[in-house]
Structure 1
Amino acid sequence: MGFLKNIFGSSEPKDEKLLPWQPLIDVSQLDDIEKRSTSKTQVVFKHSTRCGISSMVMNQFVNMYDIDANLDLYYLDLLSHRDVSNEVGYKFQVMHQSPQLLIIKNGTTVAHASHGAINEIELERFV
């Protein structure tokens, strides 16, 4: 059993890093994000819960994220909230991709990336 445990991992719960995610579930939140971005950097992570690449990128992002970053972090399950995902693209002038990270300051998108490029963005540059 030890051999299988080494290959597949333990079923024991791991100490997972919890990020200060705010669920992005309603189009009306986008106006709040725009307003808040004038005094604090806003970050939106668009995630597809059915995509293996999206899950991998999400896990990497969580592991690399600095818990003390001075920004607001939003999580958008784009499959459950397709209307919100579409409106994010319109409002912040980015073409939809998944996974996707948007950094919003002063009401506009100052950086965005998708797939593996998400984890190449240095968030501290935008705080």
Structure 2
Amino acid sequence: MRLQKIMDWEDLKAATRQKGKLFVLKNSTTCPVSREAMDEVQKYAESFVGGEPPVVYLNVQEARELSNQIEDAYGVKHQSPQLLLIEDQAVSWNASHWKITQKACQQAFER
């Protein structure tokens, strides 16, 4: 299963309108820790029950402006890798680096 890639603010807004509760993964294409985080999020997406998994991602090297907009709009300092759970136009949970796991995703989404 391929995760949905977003490139700009309009992509993010459309995804939040469509999915409601949404994970956003900030990924670096050159970082091995980001690769591990992406693998964990991918495992979560593949195990998601109830339709299309509520996950999008951006590569920070390609979408730096979007990454900065997310930081400004939601008030969460940028890290990479970083996973944000957006619901009701706010970040309700976030994790970075080795704290991004399939289990952490499941627990955060079920809260």
TM-score where L is the length of structure 2? 0.80
Q: Percent identity?
A: 27
Match of 2:86 among 80, 92, 104: 104
Once residues 57 and 72 of structure 1 are traced to their aligned partners in structure 2, the CA distance between those partners, rounded to angstroms, is 16
How large is the Cα RMSD of the aligned pairs?
A: 2.1
Q: Matched residues in 2 for 1:69 and 1:117: separation?
A: 25
1:125 is matched with 110
**Superposition deviation, residue 33 in structure 1:** 4.4
- In structure 1, the partner of 2:23 is 43
Name the counterpart of 1:5: none
Structure 1 letter corresponding to 2:43: N
Where structure 1 has 5 or more consecutive residues not aligned to the other structure, the ranges are: 1-17
- Report deviation, 1:61: 2.5
**AA matched with 1:53:** V
Give 1 or 2: higher helix fraction: 2
Residue of structure 1 in register with 2:98 after alignment: 116
Superposed displacement of residue 57, structure 1: 1.8
Deviation of 1:69 (Å): 4.9
CA offsets 1:3-32 (integer angstroms, 9 cap, x no match): xxxxxxxxxxxxxxx14x221101223333
Tell which structure's C-alpha radius of gyration is larger: 1
- Residue type of the partner of 2:23? V
Task: State the 4+ residue runs in structure 1 displaced beyond 6 angstroms.
Answer: none
Q: In the alignment, which of 63, 67, 70 is matched to residue 88 of structure 1?
A: 70
What amino acid sits opposite 2:55 in the alignment?
Answer: L
Corresponding residue number in structure 2 for 1:27: 9
Distance 1:62 1:47 in 2: 12
Residue ranges of structure 2 left out of the alignment (5+ in a row): none
The count of residues paired between Structure 1 and Structure 2 equals 106
* Deviation sequence 1:24-50 (CA, Å, 0-9, x none): 10122333345x28x721110110000
Aligned mates of 2:6, 2:76 — CA distance in 1: 17
